[in-house]
Structure 1
Amino acid sequence: MAATSIRLGVDIGGTFTDVVLEKDGVPFSAKVLTTYVAPENAIIDGMHQVCAKASIAPSEIDQIIHGTTLATNALIERRGAKTALITTEGFRDVIEMRTESRFEQYDLNLNLPEPLLPRQMRFTVAGRVDANGHVLVDIDRAEVETVVDKIAEAGFESVAVGFIHSYLNPAHEELVRDVLAEKLPDVAVSISSEVSPQMREYERFNTVVANAYIKPLMASYLGRLEDRLKAEGVACRIFLMHSGGGIISIQNAADFPVRLVESGPAGGAVFAAHIAARYGLDKVLSFDMGGTTAKICLIKNQTPKTSRVFEVARTYRFKKGSGMPISIPVIDMVEIGAGGGSLAHVDAMRQIRVGPESAGSEPGPACYGRGGERPGVTDADLVLGKLDPDNFAGGSIKLHPDASKSALSTVVGDTLDMDAVEAAFGVAEVVDENMANAARVHAVENGEDLSEYTMIAFGGAAPLHAGRLCEKLGVDRLLVPPGAGVGSAIGFLRAPFSFEANRSVYMKLSDFDGDRIKSLLTDLKTEATGFVRT
């Protein structure tokens, strides 16, 4: 693709929407409060601000690259479409039975996450493919049509299709998709052999259900965004950041929205890797703290660590296995509810707690003056003198120190017999320890010694807390790069056009089939190349 001179990067976060425009390599940025009901409104607002700063018209933009937390939030908050699952007879409860592993071995009251779809939304049909991809029992089209009629009668908006061993032989899933297309042309369809063609049925089924669950929501949003931008005279192509750290077209994003689950944080990791390469740093701890969450990622040899499975909505903090597994290529990071808007309170043990609940952008922390009465981390930072009340978010938001002091005193100080400054210090120390603990756990899980790492801090709140975090972790060197406040959006503009294709195939070494492997690699290359070139 030819190099473009004017590019726009947009990151929708839980509190702020960051917009960065690069004109011939010179950046112009803006931060606007996220508009939850219609996220595209914040994008248009931010776009006009940066275009004014760059003295250009929106129609002159050559390319837009976008990342968003909408997919993640829809899964966490269960705000997706009314979705059905069609699966193999006898496997209706796979997404509820999970793997039967106990991530907290001695907890007798283990709290497992509820499946995205309750049992009455899961349907089965006969037909079976074996572990080698051979058809054992043919699927009956008449039975499929009967199930589809039930789905039509119940008014489902989206359908996920996941059959046993379909990653080896997708014929049955494709037949069901054809029937759905004929009888329910307006219903969104996701099949597991396309969304996640990998072995392990629980992860595969869960991933295709998640894709189907958010597909109508994301398709609607992306369609509205395209229309709004066209109305503003912007006719350039729009690309989406995916969880693996690359860029895909808006159509691919609409078809496979589950790939966008970690798109915003992935942009931050790409930004940190770019900074690491610029300064020749081989061991970097990326620390991204925004308004709602903090993200920590290990970057070695200027490359973020990646994973094949990512968990959403963990019921136990830091506990692997307590969330919904999504089997997609993803940059491996730990994410906790610790941002500028994370709310503080005093628990029954008279201890200060911060997060994971966030004030977001509506109403925001008390200092925003938008009706928030509970203190957030931003309130503590303001009272401690870390923020200029007249120059927050580039001067676009005026902060109110008196409101912060009042909220900190009322919620924290009065209960613990502290003044506002002491309460602010307590809140800041608790949130810093929460993040340090997350970083320690992540480092231990990966066998790394953080004292050998350099921290790169970015995001609206990270530079304010990075120094104390380095003290707690024994990190000797901290780097806060230019444009840190909008780091993820800048990362979008540094990301490559890429797509990672996956397949599962297994065989004994004694039966190694070179031709089969060669054919598989050719198929993978064709699929990945097709995504990037569309």
Structure 2
Amino acid sequence: MVLETDDGLFSTKVLTTYDAPEQGILDGVHQVVADAGVDLADLETFIHGTTLATNALISRTGARTALVTTAGFRDTIEMRTESRFEQYDLNLVLPTPLIERRDRHVLSERIGADGSVLRPFDDDEARALVEVLAERADGDTYESVAVGFIHAYVDGTHERRFRDLLLERLPDVAVSISSEVSPQMREFERFNTVCANAYVQPLMATYLGELERRLQATGARCPVSLIHSGGGLMTVETASRFPVRLVESGPAGGAIFAADIAARHGLDAVLSYDMGGTTAKICLIEDQTPRTAKTFEVARTHRFTRGSGMPISIPVIEMIEIGAGGGSIAGVDVLGQIRVGPLSAGSEPGPASYGLGGAAPTVTDADLVLGRLSADTFGAPGIDLSEEAARTALDAGVGATLGLTSDTAAEGVVEVVDENMANAARVHAVENGKDVSRFTVIAFGGGAPLHAGRLCDKLDVDELLIPPGASVGSAIGFLRAPVAYEALRSHHALTSDFDHEAANRMLAELWAHEATGVVAAALATTHQADGPPALETERWVFMRYAGQGWEIPVRLDAAPFDHLGGELLANRFEKAYEEFFGRAIAGLAIEAIGWSVRVATPRPPVDRIERVAASRDVATGRSRTIHDPTTGTPRGRQLSWSETTWLSVTVCRVRQSSWNLRPPPGCPAPSRRSCRPTVACW
């Protein structure tokens, strides 16, 4: 929780209240407002990021949902695609569809890929199906309905008609239609996206409404805005209609935070590293802009294996996630190797050292045993760390099996975690054609600064930046996010037979729709008195050689297409293709598949932070033993200084509020005058 006032930033952390998620938010609000000495009625903006939708999809605790689709496509979400995420696993278990077969229903309508009506919509058949949905044999009525017809991305008339008939009979049922949620080709991905939206819609609408109501009851008068997976702000109304856009809202804030820090320091190539309680997330940021994608996976059965989850086709900040958080559970596998994650103790029951009922050893327990964390200065309110409990858990979960002391077991756990993160960063960079060693790592989150030094060492990265407010970086990122929304639409066009007028009409429609929503959200969020805000627009087209299965993004100019638009697109595609794959393929037909328009309020200017020479003018204090797998167990000294800097020391630990930093041995790097905190280095 972060509050920004004229006097600076005030932050706090509270544990999740699982029974009533909004209560934890309110507890944090009251605490941080009291710390800052301000009144709730004086708040101008309230921005919220949440993992509630994600957790509901993973734990399957959403609404009872039905899917209505075109006859012959009832089992599309179960048949998936021909891809196997583990090709040689003969016992491979595919993910279970979000909606069971008994809850999937069909209509005999049909629209072709060119928009022609192959089978007309039958109102009588639709009304009969509505009665089936209303009168379930087992008496367990539906709370939500997802509607996904074949080729509805071309023409959503049939979907809208069925929604109207359904709401006439069942006005209290939530209805999601794929032509509004995700108007893109590829029915497996589109159907999953609309199913996910419908599945969490009642939950999120209730939660957001209750949060807004209780905030107002406490005296707050400002509107609530939500940060979506693409890194922009949207209203509660939009979030309630399209809650699937909230699936990656929390991590998106972290990427925006890192991009803002990169802009302030003039960094063009950044690897953001966000380590929280359950996972660590890594994102490539170039030219102060996070990389984005138009699809991602959620609820993977093999947590970090691509293809094992539910594909969601929405704009999202692209990042890789691994099970390497502070609460990740450590153990020994059948081969006698230490394994960490993906299971996590979370905040309840939490690591063994929390004393809240957790018994399994975690990364936090290992850091505490190694001396990297101090029970005296731990940043979570109300939690007293127990080193004895941490050692007991490590002995039982790792040491006893491998014949290791608790110190050595802790070293092994930390080394495995750091190597897992380094491998994930390498893979993510290679998949995007980047050399990670030329990037600067920006580390934030409660655990990232503690492990970032070793990560940089493994990746041969020379620069590591730990910004102020690192432990609440994602929340600070919410404050830096623009009001923005991105629309994606499938529209097939060959560059050799390009209808520039049709493309211009389609892009203009997308812009007009998004601009209206962004202006309304900006006026509500920022209380602008000078009229509508200025808007920035990005336009992209997703292209491929004819016959290929996937596309690459090509950026478009603001100017409309003319009669040479097809030739222009072909030239830009071949240039982008050569940058991605090293060569273009002459003589092949080129086609555009998808189009994207992103409308946003401008990014505010930032104050540049200049480099300063590293300072060795530090004060010495008491000693504490720090265990390190590369240097043994040296004795360190407490050091203090009054500006952000770097120390070239054997082993050190830097503490600032609720995050810790331990650079690797001899880690040199430039410092930057980003604030003047007082920190402690052990």
What is the TM-score with the length of structure 2 in the denominator? 0.74
- Provide the rounded CA distance (Å) in 2 between the counterparts of 1:49 and 1:392: 18
1:270 aligns with 2:256: yes
CA-CA distance at 1:395 after TM superposition: 5.0
Measured in 2, the distance between the counterparts of 1:171 and 1:411 equals 58
Amino acid across the alignment from 2:171 = P
Are 2:329 and 1:343 equivalent residues in the alignment? yes
| Conserved? CA contact 1:293–1:335, under 8 Å | yes
Q: CA offsets per residue over residues 14-68 of structure 1, 9 Å max, x none? A: xxxxx00000261000011111121111111111111111101222211110111
2:4 is aligned to: 22
2:242 aligned residue (228, 251, 256)? 256
Amino acid at match of 1:106: Y
Q: Distance in 2 between matches of 1:330 and 1:318?
A: 17
- Written as runs of structure 1 = structure 2, the 5 A alignment for 1:270-309 is 270-309=256-295
Match of 2:54 in 1: 72
* Paired position in structure 1 for 2:340: 354
CA contact 2:278–2:346 (8 Å) conserved in 1: yes
Residue 247 (structure 1) aligns with: 233
Provide the residue aligned with 1:214 in structure 2: 200
Change (3 A) 1:227 1:317: closer
Label 1:472 to 1:227 Cα distance change in 2 as closer, same or farther (>3 A): same
CA distance in 2, matches of 1:507, 1:274: 37
Q: One-letter code of the match for 2:92?
A: L
- Which of 105, 119, 129 is the aligned partner of 1:123? 105
Q: What does residue 166 of structure 1 align with?
A: 152
The whole-number CA distance in structure 2 between the counterparts of 1:272 and 1:508 is 38
Alignment of 1:7-46 (within 5 A): 19-24=1-6, 26-46=8-28
In the alignment, the residues of structure 1 paired with residue 514 and residue 23 of structure 2 have an alpha-carbon distance, to the nearest angstrom, of: 33
- The residue aligned with 2:183 is 197
CA distance in 2, matches of 1:508, 1:455: 41
Tell me the CA shift for residue 512 of structure 1.
2.4
- Counterpart of 2:637? none
Secondary structure of the structure 1 residue equivalent to 2:212: helix
- Relative to structure 1, the CA distance from residue 342 to residue 319 in structure 2 (aligned partners, 3 Å threshold; closer, same or farther) is closer
Asked if 1:514 is matched to 2:520, the reply is no
What's 1:137 paired with?
A: 119
Q: Which residue of 2 aligns with 1:442?
A: 428
In structure 1, how many angstroms separate the alpha carbons of the residues matched to 2:304 and 2:325? 17
Q: Is the 8 Å Cα contact of residues 21 and 51 (structure 1) preserved in structure 2? A: yes
Distance 1:30 1:320 in 2: 35
Alignment of 1:305-324 (within 5 A): 305-324=291-310
Contact 1:297 / 1:332 at 8 angstroms: preserved in 2? yes
Runs of 4+ in 1 over 4 A off after TM superposition: none
Size of the alignment, in residue pairs? Answer: 516
Letter in 2 for 1:23: T
2:84 corresponding residue in structure 1: 102
**Any conservation in 1 of the 2:14–2:381 contact (CA below 8 Å)?**
no
Q: Which whole-Å CA distance do the structure 1 matches of 2:305 and 2:340 have between them?
A: 19
Query: Does 1:484 find its partner at 2:484?
Result: no
Structure 1 position 327 matched with structure 2 position 309: no
Contact 1:207 1:326 in 2 (8 A): yes
Report 1:486-501 matches (<5 A).
486-501=472-487
CA distance in 2, matches of 1:171, 1:143: 16
CA contact 2:70–2:149 (8 Å) conserved in 1: yes
Contact 2:325 2:363 in 1 (8 A): yes
Asked whether 1:402 is paired with 2:388, we answer yes
Given residue 342 of structure 2, which amino acid in structure 1 is its aligned partner? P
User: Which of structures 1 and 2 has the bigger CA Rg?
Assistant: 2
SS of the residue aligned with 1:139?
coil
2:597 alignment counterpart: none
1:424 deviates by 1.1
Q: In the alignment, does 2:470 pair up with 1:470?
A: no
**Residue 317 of structure 1: how far off its partner (Å):** 4.8
Moved more, 51-60 or 506-515: 506-515
Find the aligned partners of 2:171 and 2:425 in 1 and give their Cα distance. Answer: 47
Percent sequence identity is 64
**SS of the residue 1:338 aligns to:** coil
Counterpart residue type for residue 152 of structure 1: A
Residue 13 of structure 1 is matched in structure 2 by none
- Equivalents in 1 of 2:503, 2:300: separation in Å? 36
Alpha-carbon spacing, 1:510–1:424, altered in 2? closer, same or farther (3 Å): closer
2: CA distance between counterparts of 1:484 and 1:336?
19
8 Å CA contact 2:303–2:342 kept in 1: the answer is no
**1:16: which partner in 2?**
none
How much does 1:172 deviate? 0.3
| Shift in Å, 1:528 | 0.9
For residues 398 and 501 of structure 1, the distance between their equivalents in structure 2, rounded to whole angstroms, comes to 47
List gaps (5 residues or longer) in structure 1.
1-18
Report the CA distance between 1:510 and its aligned residue: 4.4
CA contact under 8 A between 1:284 and 1:456: conserved in structure 2?
A: yes
Uncovered stretches (5+) of structure 2, i.e. residues with no partner = 521-682
Q: CA deviation at 1:352?
A: 1.5
SS at match of 1:447: coil
Please give the secondary structure, in 1, of the residue aligned with 2:390. Answer: helix
8 A Cα contact 1:84 1:159, kept in partner: yes
Question: Post-superposition shift, 1:110?
Answer: 2.5
Q: Which moved more, 1:144-153 or 1:346-355?
A: 346-355
3-state DSSP class of the match of 1:31?
coil
In structure 2, C-alpha distance between the alignment counterparts of 1:282 and 1:251, rounded to whole Å: 36
**3-state SS of paired residue (2:274):** strand
Whole-angstrom distance in 1 between the partners of 2:394 and 2:23: 32
Corresponding residue number in structure 1 for 2:598: none
In structure 2, distance between residues paired with 1:78 and 1:490: 30
Give the superposition deviation at 1:514: 2.3
Corresponding position: 1:93 with 2:75: yes
The amino acid across from 2:453 in the alignment is: G
C-alpha displacement at 1:116, in angstroms? 0.6
SS at match of 2:484: coil
Could you report, residue by residue, the CA deviation over 1:394-442 in whole angstroms, capped at 9, with x for unpaired residues?
A: 6543211111111111221122222211111111111111211211211
CA shift, 1:349, in A, is: 2.1
1:83 and 2:69 matched: no
How far has the Cα of 1:499 moved from its partner? Answer: 0.2
The 8 Å contact of residues 227 and 246 in structure 2, kept in 1 or not, is answered as: yes
After superposition, give the CA deviation of every residue in 1:176-202 in whole Å (9 maximum; x if it has no partner).
000111001010000000000111111
Root-mean-square deviation (CA), in Å?
1.3
Structure 1 Cα separation of the partners of residues 148 and 394 of structure 2: 50
CA contact (8 A) 1:103 1:322 kept: yes
The structural deviation recorded for 1:513 is 2.1
Shift of the 34–394 alpha-carbon distance from structure 1 to 2, 3 Å rule, reads closer
Judge conservation of contact 1:96–1:114 (CA < 8 Å) in 2.
yes
Inter-partner Cα distance in structure 1 for 2:66 and 2:222: 36
**Contact 1:318/1:438 (8 A) holds in 2:** no
Distance 1:370 1:444 in 2: 41
1:280: Cα distance to partner? 0.8
Paired residues of 1:61 and 1:234 also in contact (CA < 8 A): yes
1:227 aligns with 2:180: no
**Structure 1 residue 269: Cα displacement:** 0.3
Q: Give the aligned residue type for 1:390.
A: D
1:391–1:397: 8 Å Cα contact kept in structure 2?
A: no
State the shift of 1:468 in Å: 1.0
Deviations 1:183-232 (A, max 9, x none): 01010000000000111111111100010011111111111111221221
